[in-house]
Amino acid sequence: MDFSFKHKRISGILTILPKKAVKFEDEMTNYSFSPAKCMKLKLAMGYNEHRIAEPGQCSSDFCKFGLQYLFDNNLLNKDEIDALLFVSQSADYYMPPTSNLIHGHFGLKQDCLCLDINQGCAGFELGLIQAFLLLEQPAVKKVILMNADVLSPKVSDQDRNSKPLIGDAAAITIVEKGEEENPIYANIKMDGTGAMVLNIPAGGFRMPSTPETAVMEQDAAGNFRSKNNLVMQGDDVFNFVQREVPPMIEHLYVQSGVDRNEVDWYMFHQPNKFMLHKLADKLGIPHEKMPANIVENFGNASGVTVPTCISYNLGDQLVNGKMRLCMAGFGVGLTWSSIMMEMGSLQFNKIIEF
Amino acid sequence: MKDQIIRILTELRPEFDFTQEGMNFIEEGMLDSFDIVNLVNDLDSTFGISIDGVDILPENFATVDSIEQLLKKNGAK
């Protein structure tokens, strides 16, 4: 499904990372691999260290910390917020919505739309599309997009498929109406037949958490996890990404009329270095135009990886200049989405720690 | 090409004999998914190619012959 928008802009990106950094080497004794094989895995995938939230810290805490930072530094005015989007797979409660909790925490105005969206690796793109759609309304002038996930407590320490790469983080993106035309092209696709390729079996209404669901079991590859833990069928995810993402980007070139060489940066979701390099090779994009350094330095925090990649790799370059970005997310759902747009003259684009 | 493939496989998993006829490396548990990742990296650098991501399927790494076919398909000479 294709979308196009005009007169919309991103005016700021703030990424909020946990202070706690955990090294791959400190965890590899948990995995059923020899030390030598673990080190090969580290090199191939680009694992190094990842940021992990402290016990008790929720996704909403990172969002609240970031919003408070923006209010304190006069980068955002509470009264300007017309919509608050919370895109996450780690809500505080089944009910109420986490966006409403954040709304209440800050005493935001009543004329404000709060919306929780359950989405993972394509959550930045899906959230932006939703923000752009809302901004078509005369009453909506500024949307606050919060991508946040604290999923590390749901990943087994003995799961080498997921543990080395998981990261916790949040990002706050300010999306607003703009005077310049600034054409934006986006597309999104879904395939629910693959929905369980990435899942947490227990803890919802379908399979409530019980002492039985907490029992650790070994899979065929030697990983140990319980039904309360996140499970990723890595091979299926890899094949899905390699099959679906290149045609999506090729379609985006046609849709936008932008040649691949006219794109300054390819800011893609960050599952691991190997997967990103394969995508870049397939699309004929130089590796240096598609940064693959977020898992290595911070871990994969689902829909937060793209804004983290933008903040970490571009920083003030997007405050002082303008660039054409091609962004893409792909994963749980299965969902894959991409956006082509120019971004620049941001009020802020940085990383802070909580 | 076959000799180079066997050398790379042996460096990756020295505990196995990859010269035996009729072995399926995947079914026999000689290569797991992370071995395949490392194998692809080694094959890419040795033969100066980039194996297409859609071809990174277990069946393409099951035998020396299937790996050779995969390499040729992806431009190795």
What one-character-per-residue DSSP string does A149-187 give?
E--GGGS-TT-TTTTTTB--EEEEEEEEE-SS---EEEE
If you average pLDDT over every residue of chain A, what do you get? 95
Residues in chain A within 8 Å Cβ distance of B41? 44, 274
Q: Which residues contact A268 (CB under 8 A, 6 or more apart)?
A: A276, A279, A290, A306, A309, A327, A328, A329
d(CA A297, CA A263): 25
Q: Locate the domains of chain B by residue range.
A: 2-10+24-73
Closest by CA position to A352, among listed A12, A18, A10: A18
Q: Do A278 and B56 touch (CB under 8 A)?
A: yes
The topology (CATH level 3) of A1-202+226-354 is: Peroxisomal Thiolase; Chain A, domain 1 (3.40.47)
Residue of B nearest to A41 (CA): B34
Question: What's residue B14's pLDDT?
Answer: 87
Is the pLDDT score of A336 beyond 80? yes
Q: What is the pLDDT of residues A250-288, one digit of tens each?
A: 999 999 999 999 999 999 999 888 999 999 999 999 999
Q: Do A274 and B54 touch (CB under 8 A)?
A: no
Of the listed ranges A6-10, A28-32, A92-96, A148-152, the least confidently predicted one is A28-32
Q: Do A239 and B54 touch (CB under 8 A)?
A: yes
Do B37 and B61 meet the contact criterion of CB atoms below 8 Å apart?
no
Question: What's residue A263's pLDDT?
Answer: 98
What one-character-per-residue DSSP string does A217-279 give?
EE-TTS-EE-TTS-EE-HHHHHHHHHHHHHHHHHHHHHHHT--GGG-SEEEE--S-HHHHHHH
> How far does B34 lie from chain A, in Å, by closest CA?
7
Give yes or no for B34 touching A (CB within 8 A): yes
Total H helices, total E strands in chain B: 3, 0
Average pLDDT over residues A304-308: 98
Q: Which residues contact A144 (CB under 8 A, 6 or more apart)?
A: A67, A76, A81, A83, A84, A85, A172, A173, A174, A175
Of A44, A221, A234, the CB nearest to B41: A44
Beta-strand pair A217-218/A113-118: unpaired
> How far does A242 lie from chain B, in Å, by closest CA?
5
Residues in chain A within 8 Å Cβ distance of B38? 40-41, 44
Residue of A281, A287, A295 to mutate, interface with B, max B Cβ within 10 Å: A281
Closest by CA position to A206, among listed A179, A184, A227: A227
What is the predicted ipTM? 0.84
Residue A64 backbone phi and psi in degrees, to 5: -65, -40
Most confident of A9-18, A24-33, A216-225: A9-18
Mean pLDDT, 10 residues at a time, over chain B (77 residues)?
A: 92 88 87 88 93 91 94 90
Evaluate if pTM is beyond 0.90.
yes
Q: Locate the domains of chain A by residue range.
A: 1-202+226-354
d(CA A261, CA A265): 10
